[in-house]
Each structure stands twice: as C-alpha cells, then as structure tokens.
Structure 1
Amino acid sequence: MIKLLRGNPGRRTLDLSDGVHPEVAIPDVPTHLSLDARKEWRRITAELESVGLISRLDRSALAIYCQTWGRLLLAERALSAKQKQAREEGLDEAEAVFTQQTPTGFLRESALFRVVSKLQQDCDRYLASFGMSPSSRSRVKASDNRQGDLFGEAQGDAWNSL
C-alpha cells in the first residue's frame, strides 16, 4: 500500500490482489445463451458462489465459457450421430468420426473432430480462469466480500441464543 502512495521507484509489478474483493454474487443470465449454455450457467454459478469465486464482474467471461460449453455439447452430439450412422451402414466407426474424404478422394482429419478438439481446449482455458481445474485451483483466491444475512451475523447469533 505504501508503494501506491509513494510511487513505485523499482517499477516492479505490484500485487494488488489483496485489495480487490468484489461482492460474491451471481450475475444475471445473458439472454443470448443457448439452452445447454443456460443449463451450465445455472449449474456452475451455484458452485462458484458456494466457494466465493463469482461476482457480477464475471458475467462476460462466464457467458463465453457457458456458450463454448453449449457448442461443445452440440459438436459432440454431431460426432455421436456420425458414429451411429457409420455403425448402421456397417462402416468403420473410428474412420467415420476421425476422418473425412476430400473431393479428390484423399482422407484427412475430420473438420468436426477438429472443432470438438478446439472447443475442448477453449473450455479448459475458461475453466482455469475461474479456478475450476485442479492445477488452477491453487492460483485463485476467493473473495471474502459476501453479503450478510438480513439481520447481520451479530443479531443472528443473538436470536439463536434465545
């Protein structure tokens, strides 16, 4: 804090994390989210709130994660449908899912499989932003700024002792 007042002559990066404690609160669900994204929003916001890792400031980042999750589910369903179709036609399921034939007859990696892989990587990156992966959990700090109950903790204790 003194460096903030006097200036930072050493020009080293200041650790300001101790001074940032937004109120723990679930932001409103964005209206543009798909059905799957909305389901993920409801699921994950409750979990993040219980551990103090969400605030209204996180709305955009969380919307990006949830929408990416919804798209990943859509792509996974498309892959499953492709696999089912191959099975029904007696084709090699792995080849049908992982490869596609070019107009010239060559086999290449399936575009749908690449989309799924990219969405998985994106989801993993967004999860790390909120401390929702094992390795990132140690790098995030929960906010201790929680809204108190209606009567405040002190009065609540007084009511319980009666």
Structure 2
Amino acid sequence: MAKAAAPAALKLITGRSPGRDSGGRKVEPGPAFKRVPPKPPTWLSREAAAEWKRVLPELSRLDLVKEQDRAALVAYCEAWATFVSATRVVQEEGLVIEARQGKLAHPCVAIARNAAREMRSWAAHFGLTPSTEQALARGEGGDGDEANPFAGSG
C-alpha cells in the first residue's frame, strides 16, 4: 500500500528546522485553507461520534483539519465504528461459524479486517498512526539536528 503524503502542517511539526521537513527539505505551505474544525454530521453512528469527539480536539489543536476534511474524517470514524461493531460480534459469537460446508470463518472477521485497513488508511491522512505519533514526538522541542552526524552547520 502506498504511503499517503503528509499535510504540510504535519511535515513541519516533524521537521528538523523551521520551514523544513524531517529530511531538511523546504516545506511548501500549500493552499491557505481556513483552519476551522469541521462539525460532525448529525447522522454519525454513536461509536463514530465518540471517535470524532476523541480525535478532533487534538487534530484541531495541531491545525491538521479544516472544514473540507469533514468527509475524510467521517469515513475514518465510521470505519472505526464498523471495526468495533464487527469485533464485538466476533467476541460474542466466536471466530468460526457452523455452516453446511462445516466450520467457516465468521464473516465479521473479514468485516473487522477490512474496516481496520480502511481506518488505518484514513488515519494516516490525519497523522493518527503510531508511526506518525512517534514522528510528532521527535519533532517537538529542538530541531533534532544535534543527534544527526550528517546535519550541516549552515
């Protein structure tokens, strides 16, 4: 699976110096969208709405979301809700079901797996994956060049 390009704000947070990404390349700021967090649609499922409330404050604090990101954030949150729902069914009913052909994998196993893939894909767009979290942690504070023997002094 191809890695999604990180938004400029995320590249700058993880960058090694002001205006530069972690590789020292200049980061173009991109379009100057107004950074106003999107409002959740009223029809979000309960679990998706809870996930929205959990992730939006931090995404907003980091200026990583704008109103136009609503559909992508909805897709991420609903993929989470589908994953949770399918996982709960598997926990209650087990990994296998009895069928005419014998024992088969429970259909919710595949549903959970597919939802997890979709969720991970959308999460990467918002910097919500564990690897992005580590990159954000490394980007806080100094410019990070002190530990890099290949960093120039200019």
TM normalised by structure 1 equals: 0.60
Which whole-Å CA distance do the structure 2 matches of 1:73 and 1:108 have between them? 21
**What displacement does 1:19 show?**
2.9
The aligned residue for residue 120 of structure 2 is 124
> Alpha carbon RMSD of aligned pairs, Å?
2.3
Post-superposition CA distance 1:29-50 (Å, at most 9, x none): 1122011111111111101011
1:18 partner amino acid: P
CA deviation after TM superposition for structure 1 residue 135, in Å: 3.4
Gaps of 5+ in 1: 1-14, 83-96, 141-162
Q: What is the aligned partner in structure 2 of residue 78 from structure 1?
A: 89
2:98 corresponds to? 101
CA contact (8 A) 1:131 1:138 kept: no
Displacement after TM superposition at 1:137 (Å): 6.0
SS at match of 1:132: coil
Larger Rg belongs to:
1
1:64 matched to 2:75? The reply is: yes
What is the match of residue 111 of structure 1?
107
Of 41, 54, 57, the match for 1:46: 57
Task: Give the aligned residue type for 2:56.
Answer: T
Deviation of 1:100 (Å) = 2.0
Seen in structure 2, the aligned counterparts of structure 1 residues 80 and 121 have a Cα distance that, compared at 3 Å, is same
Q: Any unmatched runs of 5+ in structure 2?
A: 1-25, 137-154
**Percent pairwise identity:** 24
